[in-house]
Amino acid sequence: MPTTATYARPELLQVADTVARDKGIDRDEVLVAMEQAIQKAGRSKYGQEYDIRAEIDRKTGEIRLMRFREVADPVVNEATQIPLAEARRFNPEAEVGDFITDPLPPIDFGRIPAQTAKQVIVQKVRDAERQRQYNEYKDRIGEIVNGLVKRVEFGNVIVDLGRAEAILRRDELLPRETFRQGERVRAYIYDVRQEVRGPQIFLSRTHPQFMAKLFAQEVPEIYDGIIEIRAVARDPGSRAKIAVISNDSGIDPVGACVGMRGSRVQAVVAELQGEKIDIIPWSQDPATFVVNALAPAEVAKVVMDEEQRRIEVVVPDDQLSLAIGRRGQNVRLASQLTGWDIDILTEAEESERRQEEFRTRSQMFIEALDVDDVIAHLLVTEGFTSVEEVAFVATEDLAGIEGFDETIAQELQERARRFLEEQAARAEEKRRELGVSDDLAGIEGLSPQRLVVLGEKGIKTLDDLGDLAADELMEMMPASLKIEPEEANAIIMAARAHWFADEAAPAGAGGTGK
C-alpha cells in the first residue's frame, strides 16, 4: 500500500517559475505558498481539526496530500494524535513523538476552493515580495536613487524604483516643487521601515545628506575620500552651507567642489532648484570655523563660552545685516553647521555693553569696599569681576597693580572679607526667617545666599530639595550664584542620602536581641 497519493501537475512548476521571475522572489517561496494553499483546501474538505499537509515535488510537480498524526501516550487530541499501540500496527518501530502519515486522495478543486487557494497564493507571494523589497533596501539607507513618478496622492509622490515603490512625502519636497506622472526624480533614501502593509521606503529631497551625496557624485575627490564633507546645513530650496576639508594639502577643498567656472557646484544647484550653496573650509578650531561659516560677512572678534557651546561674534556695523542674513538665515545656517549657538553684536553694541559692564562693576566695588572710583576702575581694568576674587586672591597679585602697594592690597582684602562676612550674616538671618532647616544648611555647596534663594522658592527641607532634579536646582539660581551640573547633582544626592539611610535602618534593626 503506498504511503501517499500523488498526482502530477508539471504546469505548477511553470507557474512558479513565471511568478518568481516576475516578482523577483525565490521559486521555492512560490512553491511553499502553493503548498499552503493546497493544504488549506485539504483542511476545508476533510476538517480543520486535522493536521493535513501538502508537498509539491520540486522536480516533477507531483502533489502529495497527507494526514499527519503524532504518536502519543496518552492521546490528548484524537484528530492529530494516535496511540502508540495502534501506531505500531502501521510501523512496528514507531516511538512517542514520531508521525504516522496517511495518504489522501487528490482534491477536486471546485470554484470556491480554487478561489481560496488563489487568495492564499497571492497573499503569500505578496508577503514574500515585500520581504524581498525590505531586505534589498534596508541596507541602502543613505543612498541616492532614481525613479519614475508613478502617481501623486495628496501632494505625496509615489516613486517607482523598478523593483519597489517608494514615497516622497510633501514635506520632503523642495518648496514650490511639483512632479507629474512619468517624470524622472532623484532622491535620498533616509528610512526603510517594515510595516503591516509592506515595506515603506521613504525618500527626501530636503535632507542635508541629499546635498552631500550629490556633491559626492559631482566631485571625484569626495568620492575617492581625498576631500571630506564634515557638516551640512540647509534651508531647502533657498540656501545651504557645506563645510569641507582636504586630506591632501595640495588640493584646495573649496576650489575642487566649485569646479572649473563653477561647473560642479552649478550641477548640484540645478538639481536643487537653484538653492544657493556656500562652500566653506572646515576647521578644527571652533572660533575659526564659526568665522568661516558666517561668510560672506566679515568678523572683527569672537568670544567663546565652551561650557554652554555659545559664541559671541562682533562684526563691523555695516556687516550686521549681512551676518544675520534675510530673516536670520545666514546666522541660523552657520549655527546648524557648527553646532554652536551664535550671538551677533555690532562693534558699537559691544563697546556700549563693555562700558556698561565697566560702570556696573566699578559701582559694585565702590559700594562694597568703600573706595573711590579710581581704585574701583583699576580693579575692573585688571579683570576683577567680584568681591570674592578680591578677598581671596594672593596679596602679591593685588599689590602688583600699578599704584597699589602691599598695605593697600591688605586693606582691600580685609574690607572685602568683612563685606562678605556681613553679607553671609544677613543671608543666614534671612534663611532662618524663611524657615530653611539646619539640615539643609549643612549640605556642602549651599552658601547662605543660595539657601535664601531656595527658601524664597519654597525649598526648606532635605525632602524638598531631594525631590528636585539637578536642572531644576540650576534654573533657580541667579547668574551670580550659578551652580554647575556636576555640583548640582552632588547637592541633590546629598539631600537624598537620608532616604537610603532610612531604608537600610529596618534591615539592621533589632540586632540579635530576643
Asked whether residue 420 is domain-assigned, the answer is no
The DSSP string of 178-245 is ---TT-EEEEEEEEEEEETTEEEEEEESSSHHHHHHHHHHH-HHHHTTSEEEEEEEEETTTEEEEEEE
Asked whether residue 501 is domain-assigned, the answer is yes
Residues listed for the chain: 514
Are 156 and 230 within one domain?
no
Asked whether residue 113 is domain-assigned, the answer is yes
Task: Report whether 283 contacts 292 (CB < 8 A).
Answer: yes
Are 239 and 297 within one domain?
yes
Q: Give the CATH number, domain containing residue 199.
A: 2.40.50.140
Asked whether residue 299 is domain-assigned, the answer is yes
Final residue belonging to a domain, choices 349, 380, 408: 349
Q: Give the CATH number, domain containing residue 487.
A: 1.10.150
Are 29 and 108 within one domain?
yes
**Category of 239 on φ-ψ map: left (φ > 0), alpha (ψ -120 to 50) or beta:** beta
Number of domains in the chain: 4
Task: Report whether 425 contacts 377 (CB < 8 A).
Answer: no
Q: Give the CATH number, domain containing residue 297.
A: 3.30.300.20
Are 110 and 165 within one domain?
no
C-alpha 272: how far from chain center: 25
Are 127 and 164 within one domain?
no
| 103, β-bridge pairs | 66
Asked whether residue 325 is domain-assigned, the answer is yes
Task: Report whether 125 contacts 133 (CB < 8 A).
Answer: no
In order of 168, 230, 277, 309, 312, the CA distances from 306 in angstroms are 40, 20, 28, 5, 11
Are 56 and 113 within one domain?
yes
Are 158 and 276 within one domain?
no
Final residue belonging to a domain, choices 204, 235, 259: 204
Q: Give the CATH number, domain containing residue 94.
A: 3.30.1480.10
Final residue belonging to a domain, choices 85, 113, 133: 133
Provide the domain limits for residue 181: 141-204
Task: Report whether 128 contacts 29 (CB < 8 A).
Answer: yes
Instruction: List per-residue pLDDT tens for the chain, 514 residues long.
Output: 334 444 555 666 777 777 777 766 777 877 887 777 778 777 877 778 888 888 888 887 777 888 888 888 888 887 888 888 888 888 888 888 888 888 887 665 545 445 655 666 677 777 777 777 787 788 888 899 999 999 988 888 999 888 788 889 998 999 888 888 889 999 999 998 877 776 688 999 999 999 999 999 999 999 888 999 999 999 998 999 999 999 988 899 999 999 888 899 999 999 998 899 999 999 999 899 999 999 888 888 888 888 788 898 888 888 888 888 888 899 999 999 999 999 888 888 888 888 888 888 888 888 888 888 888 888 888 888 888 888 888 888 787 787 788 888 888 888 888 888 888 888 888 888 888 888 888 888 888 888 888 888 888 888 888 888 888 888 888 877 888 888 888 888 888 888 877 665 555 544 444 3
C-alpha 188: how far from chain center: 18
Asked whether residue 514 is domain-assigned, the answer is no
